Homo-oligomer: A and B are copies of this chain.
Amino acid sequence: MPHLIVEYSRNLAGFPEAQALAELNAAVCASPEVADEADLKSRIAPVPQFEIGTAPANRGFVHAQLRLLSGRTPEAKKDLSERVAGVLRRLTPHPAGVMVQLSVEIVDMDRPSYVKERL
């Protein structure tokens, strides 16, 4: 059931989107929290129009959101966000002169109302 959504500011040119998704999925599916690898649905997209803070600085960001059915322990959630961060830390481009921020967020999804099926 997990959903992984990665966004990155468009000034991080050359972001290896397909490689990042492949490595993110491998890292997350290796967690004992993911029972079936086919459940992990990941997407990545650049953000064309963004603004970071208020100072006239050259900044970029990559942000990942991992949405899981509720009920995981804090330790499991922290482990998952570190798995995601580990891949993005390694693969995110660092253009010269750009201060790049990385963030990873874990979101609990409401379990009783969730619908999941194969068509």
Using a CB–CB distance below 8 Å, which chain A residues touch chain B? Answer: 1, 3, 7, 17-18, 21-22, 24-26, 29, 36-45, 47-55, 57, 59, 61, 63, 67, 74, 77-78, 80-82, 84-85, 89, 92, 94, 99-110, 112-119
Contact = CB atoms under 8 A, between A and B. Distances in A.
Given A102-B118, A107-B109, A107-B110, 16 more contacts: A3-B103, A17-B49, A22-B51, A25-B53, A36-B53, A38-B99, A40-B54, A41-B103, A74-B113, A77-B112, A78-B112, A78-B113, A81-B114, A89-B117, A92-B119, A105-B113
A42 B52 contact: yes
* This chain's copy number in the assembly: 3
B112 A100 contact: no
A74 B29 CA distance: 30
Contacts of A102: 115-119
Contact of A105 (B43, B44, B109): B109
Given A103-B115, A112-B74, A114-B105, A41 B52 contact: yes
Contact of A118 (B1, B18, B99, B104): B99
